[in-house]
């Protein structure tokens, strides 16, 4: 009998336990909360540490895998011009080596979508920190400034690779999904605006952490000025370019390493901005791509012969070229980064460095007719390379040829400098007024496949399918 | 509150007391005896009657001690068929006229309560209790109880598909009857399964059920695949414990574009002992194994299947619910059907111990046949010739440096081993009418044909306990299933190693060390794979308890609570010893854990009544709440310099960590009403309101409903044969879109930047998406002729709309897709047949069963398909599972390259099976039974060469870093010189764009999709049951021995790969031969 009493008590209890909540609090029973180990957007800009993490997340995504800001800019633009070549054929690289990139090429799609991914993160931080938030003002300024810089930095590569690109400044997909290609001038205007905003928000000091007290891996005001100098140069605003470069050079924060072998190390004194690798598998993406695993192995990616041909025999920067002989054949490959492996961690990915600023100022001064000043800047770079001062530079053309030579020797296999330079410079001996330097060079290098329209990569066709208001670049379908 | 509770308790107390054992009927006298007594008392002198009339008499309960004039009147008032006349002291008894009987019938009806039990005194649910003359009946509830108004003179037929029928003649005595049913002749071990709802004759829902036999079977999904019409679940590899592909009435959901071939969003809802099976069909391992990357969708998305932890010998039945009405019972997540797996229950009366053991050997089915050395060398030389390149030692070490007389058949090296399969199981049960208990335990182990100790082992323990109160008001029970498994796999697909050049150097040196190069030319050693081990340990604990309480005779309360935890731990190793020593390698160690925790509570109120005397009503008001949590992490340690230190975190140079947690809640309330008129017409109505935490707060709830009707339009007199029409219509939902997709979530960066943690947004969030709805329409005809023939033919049309899908967005928004509703419509139509026939000639009997499904899937609507990212994969009016290809125009006789006819033309080739099914035959002569199972399927599948051609590293003629350069012998029929009419294009050592484009022509053409139909003898089994006399002498109750062969032969036009697996680089299935013994003590 007692047993039955216990049982019916169970029954009644079960009835109430199970039915009452159903009647009263349905919503609570269905509230799965937010994911236990994930953050949701409303929390992010209410906490200093989360807001900082959101910004660090941008650097992390850029460095997480090989991608547009981790190695690819040193590789694919190099294939597109007279800088890099391969010793074997692989599917991924081949179209770049013949300047016949199909619009369904995965690499251009990967670069496009990943760069817009970083831009989304920047937009999120900008929206979060310009809207209502509860972040300490000093931290807010630092984070916002970095986000502005990284957004401009990302757009810089997009416009130089693809031409007009949609200017997306919001995280709202219903707006951004339909944006057509924005004229390149407007995109540049936005970059300048972003950089100006960043320059006001940031200081000349680097943000450091106890683990990395000297690392220059976060954007500071001088990095902003350095990118501004480059953008003004690309836009032909010579005085502004020279002015910004001067500010960086005169800040006394940087020195050219006298030993060129030091230039790309984590403690390089000429670094204005470096990205810190996050993977344990390699030091830098460039080192991993360009330096063969086997000590005397044949490199897969090699430098075009012309670079070494034009390099002065005395040039100390020969140390940036790795030369091996395999099977009786000599191979030269980029060797700015020395390490292929993950340990020891000694190299960071160099983004902006002082030598480029000298080159920028030299070019800007030359364009303004300040030839001696221009030559001075070039000589500063040459001196570090162990080369004698330039003499006999009397005309602007000579000065510009010298600038090209110096930029080529200094900046090869780095962030696509050569490809971008060739595209913006006019031909030295033009056969028609609009001819660009790139046509001159590529017609000589790849006469069979080069077309003027190849200066821009195609817009990925899957993007055009998904956003029909996008148009394809000329020369592609 | 307290008062109310107190009152309720009191009421229940009283009802419990009142409900104590029913008072047995008073002792009555026969009419004859009563009349004798009255005669002796002198009420009359003589009786005039016919002896035969007295058979119609009912017992007399009227007290006879006080004899007065009204006594006779009172006695005959209780006689339904007899009347009397007292004329001059002579009592004349005669039969009432029919009109008189009819008019007094109401007086002779009794309400009877009863219980139907087995001979072991456990209740029989869903037994049909029917009045013979009036075609009116009821079904017993889960406690075996029934209540019926029984008319005088009528016979009560109690039938159940599994038991011998019992008939009871009307007796005026008592109000309670107790019926015991005896099982029909035991079915042969592999029984002709009965359709699920045939046991409940009045069901209007569509579904099938299979009772699992007593002989071991490898896994649960295989049983479903081989027995349920319309379910197509082939394995994805021959490795023990791998996931199955699964198709069930076609895909209903588009899902993400990357999922077009796999569609986890189309998995049915699996319920094991009442608990939703959290991983569904997804692989639960996280680390990459020899069968692929578990997280990546696609055909290759294979991994460890947690169903491996369930021992098929512990399963009582598997029920598959298909149509709207059936699935509506189990929740709105039934858009893709519901599969209910129930473990064995305690039923036995006497103590019973069943012990079984089996041992089998397995041999690998043939893999893709490859070139021998002379064919290979000729092919390579030809490739150089085709390219006008002179082979140099650097380019062609296999031709110029290596020994060209050496030959090794790597298929033979890897697959010529013997697999061992061992299975041991015991089952103990005992019980009485109130308590029942069952304990099962089992161990099984399977290995593979690979020359390494690859295995899957499982230990399982099942216990089931049930209790029923004496007054039959309370029933409760608990089932606990605990199992653990250990699988040793490899972490890399060793099958690719079969492509190593057949004249490659010896794999080991004289000291047994792995050889990695010959003459300075490196290659990847096939034996190295066996050092990259992968361990998967799985624990599965499943508890289910229920309580049924009869509040009122017509009202029952039921609640069940379930809990399950599946825990998967993995480790895999890439030791230095398994890597080419040339560029100093380092070791890698990965570990991972994945845990699923599920709770479910399901209360319900059941109401049974009869209205208007002829309509039986069953009502149910229920609710269900479940919570599923998933907690997983994985960590990778890299940079070990010593194999001995592998796995020690401190000695790793780098590490990488990932973790993820999610929670999923589901709540639903529902009401069901079932009406049964005279056991001829049936109607069922279900409405439900469901909520899922996978939707934003505004869109969590949705209403679904279903209606079903059935009509028995023909039936023979004793109810053993009948024909039925049934149909149903209703809606179900789908919420398989992943957790938290409505929230803007951020992930934690796997590594620090500058020593600082980072977070990044995981994707775009859409708080507005809603349930995906599938409307199902189904009709069926069922015919049952005694036990000899049963035919069930079903047709259905399901339409899924408001598709929740990962809609593709341009990359410029930052992410490639967003989850949202899209007005696409997918239709599934089809016909399924399930026909069983049984014939007996004396000692010989023959049973057969044919299952057949002809599914058809169609994309009805997709707005602006041409301009969407789906244009490459989908076509309006075609199935989702298609290959959109160009017309192949053969190999150009001049260039030796593949060509296509018209670059603009697009063909859609259906990759779904056109039809499939199985044919089971069972021949029995006395104690010997032979059972065969044939499986057939008509389908198209990618040609095995497409796996070679679509991997640019394996392009025929070319070398690659591993030196996996051998090719299928199929390529012998290749283009060699001008004018050749060949099947395959010329071989080349280069990856020039012309060769590559030509390969693209073939890969994107209809030539790539070939006939993969097959007919396979899946199973042949010979069983012998030992004679009773033999057993009795040895004090055992029963014993049988059997021999079993699997995958005996296959007839197929499909070459190079198994038509069931379809991919040439997965471990082939086994042909196994097993012997076994089963003893009942």
Q: Which CATH architecture best describes the domain B265-372+407-508+529-748+770-955+991-1080?
A: Beta Barrel (2.40)
Looking at the predicted structure, is the pLDDT value of residue A344 above 70?
yes
Distance CA(B57)–CA(B32), nearest Å, equals 9
Least trusted range by pLDDT, from A36-45, B56-65, B392-401: B56-65
B754 with A8: Cβ contact below 8 A: no
CB contact under 8 A, B818 and A168: no
Please report whether residue A64 resides in a domain.
yes
Average pLDDT over residues A163-178: 93
| Residue B684 β-bridge partners | B674, B708
Q: Which residues pair with B676 in a beta bridge?
A: B616, B682
Give the CATH number, domain containing residue A92: 1.25.40.390
CB contact under 8 A, B753 and A59: yes
| pLDDT average, residue stretch B849-861 | 91
pLDDT of residue B295: 64
Measure B900 CA to nearest chain A CA, in Å.
20
Q: Give the ipTM of the model, two decimals please.
A: 0.90
pLDDT band for position A194 (cuts 50, 70, 90):
very high
Percent of chain B with pLDDT over 90: 26
Q: Is A465 on the interface with B (CB under 8 A)?
A: yes
Contact B880, B874 (CB under 8 A): yes
| Contact (CB, 8 A) for B589 and B532 | no
- Residue A104 falls inside a structural domain: yes
Both tokens assigned to B968: 């299928």
In this complex, is the C-beta atom of B811 within 8 Å of any C-beta atom belonging to chain A? yes
**pLDDT greater at residue B118 or residue B900:** B900
B16, pLDDT greater than 70: no
CA of A420, closest CA in chain B: separation in Å?
23
Q: Number of Cβ pairs closer than 8 Å across A and B?
A: 267
**Token digits of residue B579:** 């890597």
> What distance in Å separates the CA atoms of residue B927 and residue B1029, rounded to the nearest whole number?
12
pLDDT tens profile A413-453: 999 999 999 999 999 888 888 899 999 999 999 998 899 99
Q: What per-residue confidence (pLDDT) applies to B520?
A: 81
Which among B960, B165, B829 is positioned nearest to B523, based on CA atoms?
B960
Interchain contact B258–A (C-beta under 8 A): no
For residue B256, name the pLDDT band (cuts at 50, 70, 90): low
Contacts of residue B987, Cβ cutoff 8 Å, sequence gap at least 6: B379, B380, B382, B383, B386, B956, B957, B967, B971, B974
Q: Taking 50 as the threshold, does the pLDDT of residue B9 lie above it?
A: no
Residue B19's nearest CA partner among A249, A345, A7, A388 is A7
Q: What is the mean pLDDT of chain A?
A: 90
CB contact under 8 A, A470 and B810: yes
Q: Is the Cβ of A217 closer than 8 Å to some Cβ of chain B?
A: yes
Residue B195 has pLDDT above 50, yes or no: no
B655: chain A residues, CB-CB within 8 Å: 280
Least confident of A244-258, B166-180, B796-810: B166-180
A465 pLDDT band, cuts 50/70/90, is: confident
Write down the pLDDT at residue B194: 31
Does the beta-carbon distance from B697 to A116 stay under 8 Å? no
- From the list B916, B927, B903, B938, the residue with the least C-alpha distance to B1011 is B938
Chain-chain contact of A61 with B764 (C-beta, under 8 angstroms): no
Q: What percent of chain A has pLDDT over 90?
A: 70
pLDDT band, residue B192 (cuts 50/70/90)? very low
Residue of B nearest to A100 (CA): B993
Q: What is the DSSP string of A70-96?
A: BBHHHHHHHHHTTSEEESS--TTTHHH
Do B82 and B57 meet the contact criterion of CB atoms below 8 Å apart? yes
How many structural domains comprise chain A? Answer: 1
Number of other CB atoms surrounding residue A91 within 10 Å: 13
For chain B, the average pLDDT equals 83
CA-based nearest residue in chain A for residue B668 = A22
Check residue B2 and give its pLDDT.
42
pLDDT in tens, B754-784: 989 999 998 888 888 888 888 999 999 988 8
Nearest to B693 among A16, A19, A30 (CB): A30
Range with the poorest average pLDDT among B154-168, B409-423, B527-541, B638-652: B154-168
Across the interface, whether the CB atoms of B753 and A217 are under 8 A apart is answered: yes
Whole-number pLDDT of residue B191 = 32
Contact A468 B867 (CB under 8 A): yes
Where is average pLDDT lowest: A12-21, A50-59, A269-278? A12-21
**What's the rounded Cα separation, in Å, for the pair B543 and B561?**
8
Which of B193-207, B670-684, B785-799 shows the lowest mean pLDDT across its residues?
B193-207
Q: For chain B, count helices (H), then strands (E).
A: 12, 52
Domain enclosing residue A163, as ranges: 41-221+370-466
Q: Is residue A214 part of a domain?
A: yes
Angstroms from A176 CA to nearest CA on chain B: 5
Contact B1023, B1040 (CB under 8 A): yes
- pLDDT of B731 higher than 90: no
* A276 interfacial to chain B (CB closer than 8 Å): yes
Write out residues 735-794 of B within 8 Å (CB-CB) of A: 739-740, 743-762, 764-765
Higher per-residue pLDDT: A93 or A120: A120
Please report which confidence band the pLDDT of residue B94 belongs to, taking 50, 70 and 90 as the band edges. confident
- Both tokens of residue B715? 């039936």
The CATH number fitting domain B107-184, selected from 3.90.640.10, 2.40.10.10, 3.40.630.10, 2.60.40.1120: 2.60.40.1120
Name the band, by pLDDT with cuts 50, 70 and 90, for residue A14.
low
B865 contacts on A by Cβ (under 8 Å): none
The whole-angstrom separation of Cα B284 and Cα A430 is: 64
pLDDT at A7 over 60: no
Token representation of residue B346: 């305690």
Residue A232 has pLDDT above 80, yes or no: yes
Answer whether B661 touches A (CB < 8 Å).
yes
Percent of chain A with pLDDT over 70: 94
Are the Cβ atoms of B653 and A173 closer than 8 angstroms?
A: no
Q: Please write the tens of the pLDDT for every residue from B537-553.
A: 999 999 999 998 888 87
Q: How close, in Å, is residue B744 to chain A by CA atoms? A: 5
Q: A66-97: per-residue pLDDT in tens?
A: 999 999 999 999 999 999 999 887 777 889 99
Strands (E), B398-473: 418-431, 435-447, 455-468
The pLDDT assigned to B12 comes to 35
Rounded CA separation B514/B518 (Å): 12
Coil, helix or strand at residue B675: strand
Q: Give the mean pLDDT of B449-477.
A: 89
Give the per-residue pLDDT at B144.
78
Interface contact A211, partner B, CB < 8 A: yes
Going by pLDDT thresholds of 50, 70 and 90, the confidence category of residue B370 is very high
- Which tens digit of pLDDT belongs to each residue from A123-146? 999 999 998 888 999 999 999 999
Mean pLDDT of B518-525: 86
Asked if residue A35 is part of any domain, the answer here is: no
Mean pLDDT of B847-863: 90
Domains of chain B: which residue ranges? 2-103, 107-184, 265-372+407-508+529-748+770-955+991-1080
B480-489 pLDDT per residue, tens: 999 999 999 9
Residue A383 has pLDDT above 80, yes or no: yes
Nearest to B623 among A3, A22, A42 (CB): A22
Let me know how many helices (H) and strands (E) chain A has, helices first: 20, 7
Q: How confident is the model at residue B702 (pLDDT cuts 50, 70, 90)?
A: confident
CB burial readout B959-982, b (16+ within 10 A) else e = beebbbbbbbebbeebbbeeeeeb
pLDDT at residue number A9: 60
Q: How far is B851 from chain A (nearest CA, A)?
A: 41
Q: What local confidence, expressed as pLDDT, does residue B432 receive?
A: 79
Res B89: pLDDT: 79
Which residues 75-104 in chain A show a CB within 8 A of chain B?
Answer: 89-91, 94
Chain A contact for B632, CB < 8 A? Answer: no
- How many Å lie between the alpha carbon of B960 and the closest alpha carbon of chain A? 11
> CA–CA distance from B477 to each of B19, B56, B198, B463, B474 (Å)?
22, 46, 27, 11, 10
Q: How confident is the model at residue A249 (pLDDT cuts 50, 70, 90)?
A: very high
pLDDT at B997 over 80: yes
pLDDT for B173 beyond 70: no
Omega of the bond leading into A78 within 30 degrees of 0 (cis): no
Q: What is the pLDDT of residue B888?
A: 92
* pLDDT of res. B595: 95
Q: In this predicted model, which residue has the larger pLDDT, B197 or B347?
A: B347
Q: How far is the first Cα of chain B from the last one, in angstroms, to the nearest whole number?
A: 55
pLDDT, position B995: 86
Residue B670 has pLDDT above 60, yes or no: yes
Q: Is residue A152 included in any domain, yes or no?
A: yes
Q: What pLDDT score does A359 carry?
A: 96
DSSP string computed for B26-76: PP-B-HHHHHHHHHHTTS-SEEE--GGGGGG---B-S--SS--THHHHHHH
Categorize the per-residue pLDDT at B647 as very low, low, confident or very high, splitting at 50, 70 and 90.
confident
Could you tell me if A296 lies within 8 Å of chain B, comparing CB atoms? no
Q: How far is CA B356 from CA A115, B426, B441, B482, in A?
A: 63, 6, 11, 19
Residue B994 CA to its chain's centroid (Å): 48
Instruction: Give the pLDDT score at A372.
Output: 93
Contacts of B468 in chain A (CB under 8 A): none
* Confidence category of residue B34, pLDDT binned at 50, 70, 90: confident
Res B4 pLDDT > 50: no
The answer to whether the Cβ–Cβ distance between B663 and A468 falls below 8 Å is no
Span A139-166, average pLDDT: 96
Dig out the tokens for A391 from the structure.
Answer: 């003499």
How many CB atoms lie under 10 A from the CB of residue B780? Answer: 24
Q: For residue A458, give Cα distances in angstroms to A91, A163, A203, B376, B428.
A: 17, 9, 38, 41, 72
- Whether A21 shows a pLDDT value over 70: the answer reads no
pLDDT greater than 80 at residue A4: no
**pLDDT at residue number B839:** 85
């Amino acid at each position: 009998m007692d047993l039955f009493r216990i049982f019916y008590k169970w029954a009644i209890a079960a009835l109430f336990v199970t039915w009452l909540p159903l009647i009263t609090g349905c919503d609570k029973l269905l509230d799965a909360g937010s994911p236990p180990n994930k953050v949701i957007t409303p929390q992010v800009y209410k906490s200093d540490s989360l807001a900082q993490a959101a910004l660090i997340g941008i650097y992390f995504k850029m460095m997480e895998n090989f991608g547009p800001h981790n190695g690819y800019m040193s590789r694919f633009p190099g294939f597109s011009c007279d800088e890099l070549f391969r010793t074997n054929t692989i599917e991924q690289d081949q179209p770049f080596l013949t300047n016949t990139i199909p619009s369904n090429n995965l690499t251009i799609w990967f670069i496009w979508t990943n760069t817009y991914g970083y831009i989304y993160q920047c937009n999120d931080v900008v929206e979060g920190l310009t809207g209502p938030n509860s972040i300490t003002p000093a931290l807010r300024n630092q984070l916002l400034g970095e986000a502005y810089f990284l957004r401009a930095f990302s757009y810089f590569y997009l416009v130089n690779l693809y031409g007009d690109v949609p200017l997306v400044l919001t995280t709202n997909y219903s707006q951004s999904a339909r944006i057509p290609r924005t004229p390149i001038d407007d995109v540049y205007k936005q970059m300048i605006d972003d950089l100006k905003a960043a320059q006001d928000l940031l200081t000349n000091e680097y943000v450091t952490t106890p683990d990395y007290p000297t690392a220059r891996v976060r954007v500071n005001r001088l990095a902003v000025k350095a990118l501004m100098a480059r953008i003004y140069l690309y836009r032909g605003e010579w005085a502004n370019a020279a002015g910004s470069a001067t500010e960086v050079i005169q800040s006394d924060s940087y020195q050219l390493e006298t030993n060129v072998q030091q230039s790309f190390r984590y403690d390089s004194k000429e670094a204005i901005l470096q990205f810190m690798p996050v993977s344990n598998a390699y030091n830098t993406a460039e080192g991993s791509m360009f330096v063969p695993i086997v000590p005397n192995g044949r490199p897969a990616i090699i430098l075009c012969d012309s670079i070494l041909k034009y390099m002065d025999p005395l040039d100390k920067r020969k140390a940036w070229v790795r030369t091996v002989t395999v099977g009786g054949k000599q191979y030269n490959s980029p060797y700015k980064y020395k390490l292929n492996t993950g340990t020891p961690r000694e190299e960071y990915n160099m983004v902006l460095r002082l030598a480029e600023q000298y080159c920028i100022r030299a070019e800007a001064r030359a364009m303004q007719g300040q030839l001696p000043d221009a030559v001075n800047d070039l000589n500063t770079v040459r001196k570090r390379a162990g080369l004698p001062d330039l003499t006999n530079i009397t005309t602007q053309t000579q000065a510009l040829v010298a600038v090209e030579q110096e930029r080529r020797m200094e900046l090869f296999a780095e962030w696509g400098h050569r490809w971008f330079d060739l595209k913006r410079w006019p031909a030295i001996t033009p056969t028609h007024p609009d001819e660009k330097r790139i046509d001159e060079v590529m017609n000589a290098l790849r006469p069979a496949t080069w077309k003027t329209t190849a200066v821009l990569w195609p817009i990925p066709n899957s993007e055009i399918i998904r956003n029909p208001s996008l148009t394809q670049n000329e020369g592609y379908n | 509150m307290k008062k109310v509770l107190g009152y309720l308790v009191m009421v229940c107390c009283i009802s419990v007391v009142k409900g104590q054992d029913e008072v047995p009927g008073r002792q009555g006298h026969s009419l004859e005896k009563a009349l004798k007594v009255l005669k002796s008392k002198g009420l009359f002198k003589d009786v005039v009657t016919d002896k035969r009339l007295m058979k119609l008499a009912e017992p007399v309960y009227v007290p006879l001690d006080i004899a007065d004039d009204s006594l006779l009147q009172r006695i005959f008032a209780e006689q339904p068929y007899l009347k009397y006349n007292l004329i001059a002291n002579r009592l004349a008894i005669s039969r009432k006229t029919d009109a008189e009987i009819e008019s007094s019938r109401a007086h002779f009806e009794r309400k009877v309560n009863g219980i139907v039990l087995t001979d072991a005194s456990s209740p029989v649910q869903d037994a049909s209790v029917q009045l013979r003359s009036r075609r009116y009946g009821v079904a017993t509830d889960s406690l075996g109880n029934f209540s019926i108004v029984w008319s005088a003179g009528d016979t009560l037929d109690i039938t159940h598909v599994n038991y011998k029928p019992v008939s009871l003649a009307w007796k005026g005595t008592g109000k309670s009857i107790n019926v015991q049913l005896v099982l029909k002749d035991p079915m042969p071990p592999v029984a002709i399964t009965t359709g699920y709802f045939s046991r409940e004759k009045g069901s209007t829902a569509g579904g099938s059920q299979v009772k699992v036999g007593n002989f071991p079977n490898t896994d649960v999904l295989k049983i479903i695949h081989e027995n349920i019409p319309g379910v197509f679940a082939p394995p994805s590899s021959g490795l023990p414990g791998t996931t199955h592909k699964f198709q069930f009435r076609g895909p209903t959901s588009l899902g993400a574009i990357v999922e077009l071939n796999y569609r986890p969003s189309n998995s049915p809802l699996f319920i094991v002992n009442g608990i939703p099976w959290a991983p569904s069909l997804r692989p639960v391992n996280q680390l990459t194994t020899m069968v692929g990357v578990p997280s990546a969708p696609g055909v290759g998305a294979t991994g460890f299947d947690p169903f491996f932890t369930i021992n098929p010998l512990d399963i009582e039945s598997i029920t598959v619910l298909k149509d709207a009405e059936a699935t509506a019972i189990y929740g709105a997540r039934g858009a893709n059907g519901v599969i209910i797996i129930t473990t064995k229950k305690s039923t036995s009366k006497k103590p019973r111990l069943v012990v079984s053991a089996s041992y089998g050997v397995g041999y690998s089915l043939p893999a893709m046949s490859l070139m021998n050395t002379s064919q290979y060398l000729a092919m390579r030389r030809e490739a150089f010739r085709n390219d006008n390149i002179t082979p140099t030692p650097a380019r062609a070490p296999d031709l110029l440096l290596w020994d060209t007389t050496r030959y090794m058949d790597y298929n033979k090296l890897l697959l010529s081993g013997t697999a061992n399969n061992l299975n041991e199981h015991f089952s103990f049960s005992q019980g009485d009418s109130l308590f029942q208990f069952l304990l099962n335990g089992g161990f099984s182990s399977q290995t593979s044909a690979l020359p390494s100790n690859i295995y899957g082992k499982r230990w399982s323990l099942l216990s089931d306990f049930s209790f029923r109160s004496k007054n039959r008001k309370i029933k409760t029970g608990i089932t606990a299933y605990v199992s653990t498994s250990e699988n040793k796999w490899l972490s890399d697909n060793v099958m690719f190693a079969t492509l190593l050049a057949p004249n490659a150097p010896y794999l080991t040196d004289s000291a047994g060390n792995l050889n990695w190069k010959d003459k300075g030319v490196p290659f990847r050693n096939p034996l190295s794979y066996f050092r990259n081990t992968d361990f998967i340990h799985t624990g599965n604990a499943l508890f289910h308890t229920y309580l049924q309480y009869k509040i009122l005779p017509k009202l029952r309360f039921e609640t069940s609570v379930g809990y399950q935890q599946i825990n998967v731990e993995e480790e895999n190793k890439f030791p230095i010893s398994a890597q080419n020593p040339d560029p100093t390698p380092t070791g890698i160690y990965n570990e991972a854990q994945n845990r699923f925790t599920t709770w479910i509570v399901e209360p319900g109120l059941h109401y049974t009544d009869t209205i208007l005397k002829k309509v039986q009503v069953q009502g149910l008001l229920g609710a269900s709440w479940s919570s599923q949590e998933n907690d997983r992490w994985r960590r990778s340690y890299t940079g070990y310099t010593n194999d001995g230190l592998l796995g020690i975190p401190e000695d790793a140079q780098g590490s990488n960590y990932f973790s993820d947690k999610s929670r999923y809640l589901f709540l639903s309330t529902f009401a069901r009403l079932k009406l049964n008129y005279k056991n001829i017409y049936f109607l069922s109505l279900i409405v439900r309101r469901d909520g899922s935490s996978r939707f934003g707060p505004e869109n969590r709830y949705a209403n679904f409903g279903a209606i079903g009707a059935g009509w028995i339009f023909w039936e023979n007199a004793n109810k053993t044969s009948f024909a039925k029409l049934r149909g149903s219509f209703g809606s179900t939902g789908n919420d398989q879109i992943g957790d938290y997709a409505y929230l803007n979530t951020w992930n934690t960066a796997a590594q620090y930047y500058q020593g600082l943690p980072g977070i990044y947004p995981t994707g775009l969030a859409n708080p507005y998406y809603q349930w995906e709805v599938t409307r199902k329409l189904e009709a069926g005809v069922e015919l049952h002729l005694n036990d000899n023939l049963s035919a069930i033919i079903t047709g259905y049309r399901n339409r899924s709309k408001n598709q929740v899908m990962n809609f593709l967005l341009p990359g410029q928004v930052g992410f490639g897709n967003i989850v949202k509703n899209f007005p696409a419509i997918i239709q599934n139509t089809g016909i399924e047949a399930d026909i069983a026939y049984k014939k007996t000639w004396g000692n010989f009997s023959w049973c057969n069963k044919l299952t057949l499904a002809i599914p058809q899937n169609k994309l009805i609507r997709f707005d602006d398909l041409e301009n969407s990212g789906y244009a490459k994969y989908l076509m309006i009016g075609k199935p989702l599972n298609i290959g959109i290809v160009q017309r192949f125009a053969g190999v150009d006789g001049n260039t030796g390259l593949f060509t296509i006819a018209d670059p603009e033309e697009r063909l859609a080739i259906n990759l779904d099976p056109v039809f499939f099914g199985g044919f089971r035959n069972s021949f029995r002569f006395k104690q010997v039974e032979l059972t065969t199972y044939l499986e057939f399927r008509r389908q198209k599948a990618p040609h095995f060469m497409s796996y070679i051609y679509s991997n640019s590293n394996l392009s025929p003629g070319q070398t690659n870093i591993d030196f996996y350069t051998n090719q299928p012998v199929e390529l012998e029929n290749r283009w060699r010189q001008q004018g050749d009419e060949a099947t395959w294009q010329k071989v080349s050592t280069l990856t020039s764009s012309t060769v590559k484009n030509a390969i693209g022509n073939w890969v994107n053409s209809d030539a790539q999709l070939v006939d993969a139909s097959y007919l396979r003898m899946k199973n042949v089994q010979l069983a012998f049951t030992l004679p009773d006399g033999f057993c009795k002498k040895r004090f055992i109750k029963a014993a049988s021995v059997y021999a079993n062969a699997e995958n005996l032969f296959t007839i197929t036009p499909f070459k190079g790969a198994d038509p069931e697996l379809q991919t040439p680089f997965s471990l082939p299935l086994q042909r196994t031969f097993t012997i076994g013994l089963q003893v009942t003590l």
